[in-house]
């Protein structure tokens, strides 16, 4: 079975990426064979379309409500046949896998489409394309078009498998607002060496870029009555932060995990700013405070903390509740913390609560009551024995986020990378205001914290015939309270995209739907049970209307009549 063509076509318009992967396969054997389509896509993306075309006959994937699809599927198939077409493969990717039996000399074309909104992290966007054809491919190409009306500030490509020969197959062309990246190695360039028919193409192909930013109140773009507003202020003074690291040293952290935690904390200590205050709480079944209050990050205190971190060893149970309450109380009773500063608690744990309060609902309630909106709680779950759902709910209910740390060689880097994302808060209490009577379906428009290198995105539908869209941003910076104002001329903004030939027309509307669904699903996690149903119904409605495979929908993949009739593609989530 030969893959004779594999194309990855990607169009990024104003951070919204639309990727189509097309694989063409022929069965060169003289009997029927299994043809497989296996691709990895970013977890943050939603699949929007899939089809198989066998000798010209098309078998489309159909997106339905998950529960209904599952019911149909169970009826159609004897129980016990596994039907997970999509599974999480690592911390950034999930894999879509489908195979079909094709007759001798038959051809099949697989086509998968997915979309995602690129998220700015540490000052850049990342477009990640996983390349693993597992064989030499006659016509192989990755074709990326980027259009950023704000202007491209920088753009670089990176790959884990490049050689000098392969570099010759890579071309980059860019001007002020557009970039085109083409990678189309010949069969000879793909080979590990001339004798072996083995491919070098195995790994990540990554595009990193950032856009130019002029306007202080961000940038507004409008297409077909939908707007998106990007806000990422630069060069602002950084808030001093008061951070307590709450570190699990229970028995299960023994060995590599505690070693990686020590390595990461030593690096993080070096990254503290002199005006920051910090402390450590470590816990097993006992909760131990390193100091009774937070210390300023002087050279001397950082050195003493580093010596303490070196001594961390792991044994005992897991009292998450006691440790977090101790952290809150340390922040509460500390009167010497700077006036305008931001307090945060960073929890790292690898297990379930086994000591003290063990009921996760009770812990969530205790912590939310204690924090009471005053501090941000970030929860890092190390490995797969944690209850990620519990950590995620706790973080989202207390103004933070949760992240799973994968137990790989680079776990220390993952921990450090997370810290860098939250290390430089430059704004708090950000409110993005728009004329109330003129906007429908506004996405989240107030944010607790803004970290340097990230980006705030708000989108909505302009309901009546507005000529000017006024926006006002209110926020607190370290030095003062800010008010920023801007007016967008709707007709002019619409014009920007009219003459672009490769823009998919309703992309801001799709971006709005994508963002709304992501935010509704996030709300569900921390919502009261009685509100969850309504939020899910809203997200389901949008998932079906815009045909996204989300955790609430399934794609039913149909096959020729002589084979297992249908399979389901579901969206996996980090909390399983």
pLDDT at 550 over 90: yes
Q: Quick check: helix, strand or coil at residue 516? A: helix
Cα 281 to its chain centre, rounded Å, is 29
C-alpha–C-alpha distance, residues 41 and 131, integer Å: 10
- Could you give the domains of the chain? 2-212+551-558 (2.60.40), 219-235+427-524+538-546 (2.60.40), 241-423 (3.40.50.410)
> Residues 215-225: pLDDT tens digits?
689 999 999 89
Give 514: exposed, middle or buried? Use CB within 10 Å, 0-12, 13-18, 19+: buried
* Model confidence pLDDT, tens digit, residues 140-198: 999 999 999 999 999 999 999 999 889 999 999 999 999 999 999 999 999 998 888 89
CA distances 242 to 219, 337, 499, Å, are 32, 7, 50
Lowest mean pLDDT among 67-76, 416-425, 453-462, 549-558: 67-76
**365, containing H or E segment:** helix 360-371
Q: Looking at residues 85-95, what average pLDDT do you find?
A: 89
pLDDT of residue 494: 86
- The pLDDT of residue 81 is 44
CA 211 vs CA 151, 155, 176, 428, 438: distances in Å: 6, 9, 10, 23, 29
- Can you tell me which residue has the tokens 């309270």? 481
In 3-state terms, what secondary structure has residue 501? coil
- Give the integer Cα–Cα distance in Å for 148 and 247: 42
Residue 503 has pLDDT above 80, yes or no: no
- pLDDT, mean over the chain: 93
Tens digits of residue pLDDT in 462-485:
987 889 999 999 999 999 999 999
Question: How many whole angstroms separate alpha carbon 424 and alpha carbon 235?
Answer: 11
Instruction: Decide: 458 and 228 in contact? Cβ < 8 Å.
Output: yes
State mean pLDDT over 236-260. 95
Tokens of 295: 């210390």
What tens digit of pLDDT does each residue of 403-414 get?
A: 999 998 899 999
Confidence of residue 429 (pLDDT cuts 50, 70, 90): very high
Q: Select from 11, 153, 21 the least CA-distant residue to 507.
A: 11
Digit-coded pLDDT (tens) for 22-52: 999 999 999 999 999 999 999 999 999 999 9
pLDDT tens-digit readout, 312-342:
999 999 999 999 999 999 999 998 888 899 9
pTM above 0.75, yes or no: yes
Task: Find, among 216, 286, 288, 210, the residue nearest to 245 by Cα.
Answer: 288
Give me the pLDDT at residue 564, please.
66
pLDDT band at 576 (very low <50, low <70, confident <90, very high): low
| Predicted confidence band of residue 567 (pLDDT cuts 50, 70, 90) | confident
| Pick from 10, 415, 452, 411: nearest CA to 213 | 452
151 alpha carbon, distance to own chain's centre: 24
Nearest to 169 by CA among 197, 137, 195, 198: 137
Which backbone phi and psi does 539 adopt, to 5 degrees? -65, -35
Asked whether 166 and 157 are in contact (CB, 8 A), the reply is no
Distance from C-alpha of 440 to C-alpha of 460, rounded to nearest angstrom: 6
Q: How far apart are the first and last CA of the chain?
A: 34
Closest residue by Cα to residue 247 from 341, 334, 343, 316: 316
The pLDDT, as a whole number, for residue 565 is 66
């Amino acid at each position: 079975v030969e893959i004779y063509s594999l194309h990855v076509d990607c169009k990024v318009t104003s951070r919204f990426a639309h990727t189509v992967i097309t694989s063409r396969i022929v069965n060169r054997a003289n009997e029927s064979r299994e043809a497989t389509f296996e691709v990895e896509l970013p977890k943050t993306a939603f699949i929007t379309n899939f089809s198989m075309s066998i000798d010209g006959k098309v078998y489309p994937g159909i997106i339905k409500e998950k529960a209904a699809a599952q019911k149909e599927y169970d009826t159609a198939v004897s129980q016990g046949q596994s039907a997970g077409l999509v599974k999480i493969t690592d911390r950034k990717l999930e894999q879509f896998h489908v195979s079909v039996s094709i007759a001798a000399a038959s051809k099949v074309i697989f086509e998968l489409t997915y979309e995602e909104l690129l998220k700015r992290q540490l000052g850049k966007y990342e477009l990640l394309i996983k390349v693993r054809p597992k064989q030499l491919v006659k016509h192989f190409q990755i074709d990326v078009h980027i259009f950023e009306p704000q202007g491209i500030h920088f753009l670089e490509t990176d790959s884990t498998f490049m050689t000098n020969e392969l570099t010759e197959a890579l071309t980059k062309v860019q001007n002020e607002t557009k970039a085109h990246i083409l990678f189309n190695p010949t069969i000879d360039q793909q080979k590990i060496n001339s004798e072996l028919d083995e491919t070098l193409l195995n790994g990540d192909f990554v595009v990193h870029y950032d856009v130019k930013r002029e306007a202080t109140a961000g940038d507004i773009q409008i297409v077909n009555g939908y707007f998106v507003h990007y806000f990422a202020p630069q060069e602002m003074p950084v808030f001093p932060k008061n951070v307590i690291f709450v570190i699990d040293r229970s028995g299960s952290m023994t060995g590599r995990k505690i070693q990686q935690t020590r390595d990461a904390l030593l690096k993080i200590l070096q990254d503290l700013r002199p005006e920051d205050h910090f402390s450590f709480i470590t816990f097993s079944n006992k909760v131990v405070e390193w100091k009774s209050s937070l210390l300023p990050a002087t050279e001397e205190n950082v050195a003493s903390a580093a010596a303490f971190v070196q001594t961390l060893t792991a044994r005992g149970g897991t009292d998450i509740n006691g440790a977090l309450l101790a952290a809150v109380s340390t922040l509460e009773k500390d009167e010497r913390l700077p006036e305008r500063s931001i307090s945060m608690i960073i929890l790292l744990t690898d297990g379930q609560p086994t000591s003290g309060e063990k009921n996760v609902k009770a812990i969530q309630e205790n912590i939310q009551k204690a924090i009471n909106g005053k501090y941000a709680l970030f929860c890092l779950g190390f490995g797969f024995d944690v209850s990620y759902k519990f950590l995620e709910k706790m973080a989202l209910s207390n103004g933070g986020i949760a992240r799973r740390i994968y137990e790989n060689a680079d776990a220390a880097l993952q921990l450090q990378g997370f810290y860098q994302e939250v290390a430089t808060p430059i704004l708090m209490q950000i409110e993005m205001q728009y004329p109330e009577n003129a906007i429908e379906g506004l996405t989240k428009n107030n944010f607790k914290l803004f970290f340097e290198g990230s980006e705030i995105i708000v989108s909505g539908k302009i309901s009546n015939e507005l000529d000017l869209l006024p926006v006002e941003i209110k926020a607190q910076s370290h030095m003062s309270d800010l008010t920023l104002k801007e007016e967008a001329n709707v007709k002019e903004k619409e014009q920007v995209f009219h003459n672009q030939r490769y823009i998919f027309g309703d992309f801001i509307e799709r971006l709005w739907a994508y963002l709304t669904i992501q935010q509704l699903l996030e709300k569900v996690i921390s919502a009261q049970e009685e509100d969850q149903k309504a939020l899910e119904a809203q997200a389901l409605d949008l998932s079906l209307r815009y045909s996204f495979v989300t955790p609430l929908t399934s794609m039913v993949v149909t096959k020729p009549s002589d084979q297992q009739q249908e399979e389901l593609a579901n969206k996996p989530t980090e909390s399983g």
